[in-house]
Structure 1
């Protein structure tokens, strides 16, 4: 009996001794390879390298690992004493010649904070790895959104003021974005950074539907993941120079290598861009849409031991540009009864697309970001600590009446100081049926905000200074989260997750001298069921709860209360992912229904000169999306996607309460939600082939359409923009270490508005619109050395 007890006690130790976690980097010519398959020979235990070529797998200590990737020689290596196995793959020309028409290479993402093939994730995901990012010229989220159904990002008014709409959920002024915005694993809560310049990237990815269980508050419509390229062991440098119309200058330099071979690596990425502008102010014949940006990022990774890695990132962004150059009354009457009058057509090609104001507009945004990550893998569990600090300073000044008279001007300054601390635990991929992750999160945000302006008293002909807002908003968050995948059978997988958030909001109002405070306790559950019907067909169903925080307004008016409420959604989704003809045809689709409570809206109260937000009681969203890739020939791909959304206010409710009188919003019952395009599509052609043995060609052309958009709650035709299409193209030729690229955006020079603001939102002002950028084009040369 004693021997039996001893054996039973020793069994876990023996089992643990037989298991080993192996990690490493797969590369070719010094560049990481994403999507490489690593299998423990003789088992079904396997993983895929991530977008930076990294992998991690728990195997038997005597295992043999098989490394395979299309176009490269398969390698089999036995696990050694060290837990690190860095592999350099070799090309296999015979393998490539043997495949008449290859399928699409596997794109990997981290939608569920674990590296997976996009085709195996039971979520609606669009992702591009570094090759796709470069081929499509993706340098901001706006460009990426063109390739994603039911996603739209526009910027207007000033640098850092962005409006993102996803699956019928819009972002409004002075409120948070409806997505979690994550850079290198760190949540960035300030929406002014949504459209920052992106370069030297390994992954850009959007996952749609509520993602609060994994990403926390404000991920009510999804999450956008961006990962930079990591430092490499081999010295690599790249210099890119570019020039385009409107004196568009580009200088970009990237350097990476080893500080200590196989142990400590660095990466330095810098970029400067200048654009003199294409839109002219008719008042002074000056360009108004100018911009200049400097961006620098430094990274260090230290592999201290086989199972302990430390990394640090520092980034600085400095942007300046034009501001407040809306089109207003260019062909109408300047004054009607002493106020701005005339009508601006929502169709900019009707001739009303003119900018004419007397006050020069200018905006600035500066950002400093630091991040330290520690990863320790003592066995089959990875422990990760992520500590970050993010500072944003934003300002704007300019006209407020947008006509050539000294009536109204505006100024605004805003800061965001964010400290994040997150602790994550997850199992290392193995042959087991369960994958899990868990952790805790702390965040502290401080946001000083100041808004002012001048207005003219027409009777006295004097200018008066007014402050619209002078507040400090703080948010403190404590959260716990967990997620688990369980393989019920080889084909059926169930997933469940939750996140508990405790949020405390506080506002110090320096105008009234009041202080406001409230707390939330929110649980965001998520559940999904996926069925691998065949090797190439996945069916899934998801449920998720979303939560976006409310806030405080500067006052009580007829149109809003002193605070506005948190948004809550319940989202239901059915989807499928398929690939056919040896991966030459990929078709993914999903349909969704969202039950929306307390949807937020923005208005400017002209009587009090206060901006504010309010809520509709109930809304609903119904929609679907399709995404397809077809390899027509060995040299030509067809890419297409389509998204449709019907977002409707079902119960407007009431808002405001001056002297006990609230504004009835029931007149908007049955109306479409403002700022939401009714549909969008993108259709494109891509080509990549060898011109000679040493010269390669890459090219693409994309037609993107933004559907009909209502800009006010009444859904009036006078405040509705029709669908418009933009055509972009890009081509490059590369040989040895040099690449030449030419590109054009909106090459048909389409006139369009990215924002149209009805005067009803401003209590009497006329309508005004924000012009989209005209045709831009240019060329660049890139040299690797």
Structure 2
């Protein structure tokens, strides 16, 4: 990053409509009338002498700026707050920031952060399908999960909101999340942190930093060990679920051979070994709305196709349930975890339902960041290089139930045959990125920056079976994939200080993204796009389809004005995109082999104000975005597997406002409060599953992108909220650290997070309820040593963090009591009854109240 003088203040806002502006003004007025005991959830601390809110430097616009004067909506959480509040993961960070919702659905896998309501169901489950909010580490793009990242090495976390494609590039059409690590120090320093808590939780981390050659060559090394024994029990096996284990080691070298050259090298190796996921199935017997053919009542249990479905289910009241769906809140069922993830008694004897259980990640990443001020001229050439090598193994019983499905009727399956819907695979990712840019001196009234970017990812997936072991079956066999992503871009920036107080900045990026995919779902079901040289591996006699290529130009314009009193006003217009992609063989079966790119265009207005005594700071923003061809993912059963496909469901609009406040009324007190509201709704669209519910269980036999007028009323999702995001979020913290003796302080803090309900799908029928979380810490700190007792989730909130619409075949897979095919019509035309499995929901469990103790030593 290159440094920028504070007097140059920029802007990044969106086109807000009148409602949002009024809402923002009302919040600002209320905040001004409040006592200084309200504040925002960002870096908060008393000034060392006279008191006041802490000033944080951020790099949200690829330059170093003060958070209070950066014309961009960004929540920044400093290392001080990370330590004081005991934050450990991206989930914790999201609960202390505005405008972002984060929920675990697949354990520490397949992260799905939702910024300003822009979401994608099952993102990161299927290759090439992404959330729209990308991770970065020190500004280097990180394609993947970050839940195992060691927070002790962080200087701060920046959550940048709104379309960021112009500067940050791919997959940032909703925002960017940047983990900024600490630089090495030129004096010897270090830290040791250890904690122990209920449910077998142990965490230990350490770091050491210091000089190698004075301040010319310095180093930082560190590591972390984490072990969590799990809270919930698999009722089929008696074993715990949700266990987590992490080992991380990292090293960094910072070289400053001259005053004009800075070289920063960083490498990290990490391992994660997590147990079976803490998931339960709310089955189709609980369905309470939308009666129709896709219900248990019209399914026959005990048929040869699923001859091993528990016979008792056919006699239960649930088998008579004529409802196709569930409406209302999905409540946690901690005693309903029933997964075949270990050897258990089945109708075929003692069998194991999955060839691999849980999550295993082995990952190495490296970065090289170089900044060269050419001959001290102020012209800075920067190079940012990133590399990542990830081996991921994943396994779970994907029917999430006590049934033991085989698709081979009439014979006892061999011990080495996996049951149906066992989701076990091994994935390899190799990423490389390179960014080079040159920027003019930042102390001039006119500033420019130009750059180029290249990103490449190579990916392959193998099925893990009982016969293959952890290495997986060979590529080209069933369940394997080979794919790639290549992104090339050029970008630029120009800023002009029209006056001392008024600045205009324009950014633009042109990018090309190419994707290839070879996918073999079965011996006869093959998809191939691009990379014809590897076609023979997958059984192709000829060439593949053409590669998929998506191109586009994304601008962003910022205007900001600073008053004589230091209040910043800004406005931004921006555009972003998520590239299209391939659905593979699953998409062919569903009639959707490809999907289009998704585009967002929008703007925001914002204000940042700090009181003259620096004891209160308020940042607020209002925004409006228009989304076209929204990408949403559906899971469909196909043969022995579950295929995720992406459909461009329709267009949408998101609008809302955010208010971040921080106060330090006394040098020993720090208070933060964040509030956000988002109204994210479809403006048009047709959803196939919604049609099935409203039609009584008829199969869609038309193109949902262009539905006939007679079908539109039954599939229309206009006005429905986008799934996975909350409309209202409020969070904050209170810290009090009075001196109680010579060099001894009492440390106390409480932080809270409220999040409104989240709809699971576009139909807005089922949802996970609102959640209110309270965490508290109290202890003492003396001479660099701190001992703290803590409690997480003090009120034992059990609201499920997230649920996913699924299926339930336990009541049968063959129809019964259905009307003759010729008699089934829709608006007078012949149609077909939907024969897919009855709908259910698999749901993650939230960790309950947990007590622990932590010790930190710094020197």
Q: Verify same fold: TM over 0.5.
A: yes
Aligned to 2:370: 374
Contact 1:250 1:274 in 2 (8 A): yes
Q: CA deviation at 1:333?
A: 8.1
Aligned to 1:29: none
Contact 1:255 1:268 in 2 (8 A): yes
Q: CA deviation at 1:638?
A: 3.0
Contact 1:331 1:352 in 2 (8 A): no
Contact 1:108 1:129 in 2 (8 A): no
380, 405, 415: which one aligns with 2:428: 415
Aligned to 2:339: 357
Aligned to 1:446: 458
- SS of the residue corresponding to residue 169 of structure 1 reads coil
Q: CA deviation at 1:120?
A: 0.5
CA distance, structure 2, for counterparts of residue 195 and residue 602 of structure 1: 25
Q: CA deviation at 1:218?
A: 0.9
Aligned to 2:438: 425
Aligned to 1:687: 736
Worse overlay, 326-335 or 382-391: 326-335
Distance 1:563 1:351, change over 3 A: closer
Contact 1:668 1:713 in 2 (8 A): yes
- SS of the residue corresponding to residue 328 of structure 1 reads strand
Scaled by the length of structure 2, the TM-score of the pair is 0.74
CA distance, structure 1, for counterparts of residue 721 and residue 477 of structure 2: 33
- SS of the residue corresponding to residue 801 of structure 2 reads strand
Worse overlay, 444-453 or 195-204: 444-453
187, 198, 203: which one aligns with 2:141: 187
Aligned to 1:669: 718
Aligned to 2:812: none
Aligned to 1:75: none
730, 741, 754: which one aligns with 2:801: 754
User: 1:666-690 CA distances to partner (integer Å, 9 max, x unpaired)?
Assistant: 4222211111212211132122332
More strand by share: 1
Aligned to 1:153: 102
User: 1:151-176 CA distances to partner (integer Å, 9 max, x unpaired)?
Assistant: 01122224322221110111432221
1:171-182 mapped onto 2 (5 Å cutoff): 171-173=120-122, 174=126, 175-182=129-136
Q: CA deviation at 1:499?
A: 0.9
Contact 2:657 2:676 in 1 (8 A): yes
Q: Does 1:544 align with 2:544?
A: no
Contact 1:740 1:782 in 2 (8 A): yes
Contact 2:114 2:133 in 1 (8 A): no
Contact 1:344 1:352 in 2 (8 A): no
Worse overlay, 501-510 or 595-604: 501-510
Question: Unaligned regions of 5+ residues in structure 2, if any?
Answer: 10-45, 288-295, 302-308, 343-356, 406-419, 467-475, 530-544, 690-698, 809-835
Q: CA deviation at 1:765?
A: 4.0
Q: CA deviation at 1:631?
A: 3.0
- SS of the residue corresponding to residue 132 of structure 1 reads helix
- SS of the residue corresponding to residue 214 of structure 1 reads helix
Contact 1:312 1:371 in 2 (8 A): yes
Q: CA deviation at 1:733?
A: 2.0
840, 847, 850: which one aligns with 1:773: 847
552, 558, 561: which one aligns with 2:592: 561
Contact 1:162 1:195 in 2 (8 A): no
CA distance, structure 2, for counterparts of residue 109 and residue 599 of structure 1: 31
CA distance, structure 2, for counterparts of residue 211 and residue 569 of structure 1: 10
Distance 1:295 1:337, change over 3 A: same
Q: CA deviation at 1:265?
A: 1.0
Q: CA deviation at 1:331?
A: 11
Aligned to 1:487: 497
User: 1:514-552 CA distances to partner (integer Å, 9 max, x unpaired)?
Assistant: 224121221110001111124331111110001112211
1:504-523 mapped onto 2 (5 Å cutoff): 504-511=514-521, 512=526, 514-515=528-529, 516=545, 517-523=547-553
Scaled by the length of structure 1, the TM-score of the pair is 0.81
- SS of the residue corresponding to residue 281 of structure 2 reads coil
Q: CA deviation at 1:587?
A: 1.5
Contact 1:452 1:467 in 2 (8 A): no
Q: CA deviation at 1:284?
A: 2.2
Question: Unaligned regions of 5+ residues in structure 1, if any?
Answer: 1-21, 24-36, 47-92, 455-465
Q: CA deviation at 1:692?
A: 2.1
CA distance, structure 1, for counterparts of residue 236 and residue 260 of structure 2: 64
User: 1:724-750 CA distances to partner (integer Å, 9 max, x unpaired)?
Assistant: 111112234211121212222212111
Query: Which of the pair has the greater relative contact order for Cα pairs under 8 Å at 6+ separation?
Result: 2
Q: Does 1:703 align with 2:752?
A: yes
Q: CA deviation at 1:639?
A: 1.6
CA distance, structure 1, for counterparts of residue 57 and residue 848 of structure 2: 34
CA distance, structure 1, for counterparts of residue 718 and residue 752 of structure 2: 35
User: 1:249-289 CA distances to partner (integer Å, 9 max, x unpaired)?
Assistant: 11211011112222211110101010101111122222101
Contact 1:557 1:605 in 2 (8 A): no
Matched residues, number: 682
Q: CA deviation at 1:405?
A: 2.6
- SS of the residue corresponding to residue 102 of structure 2 reads strand
Distance 1:711 1:467, change over 3 A: farther
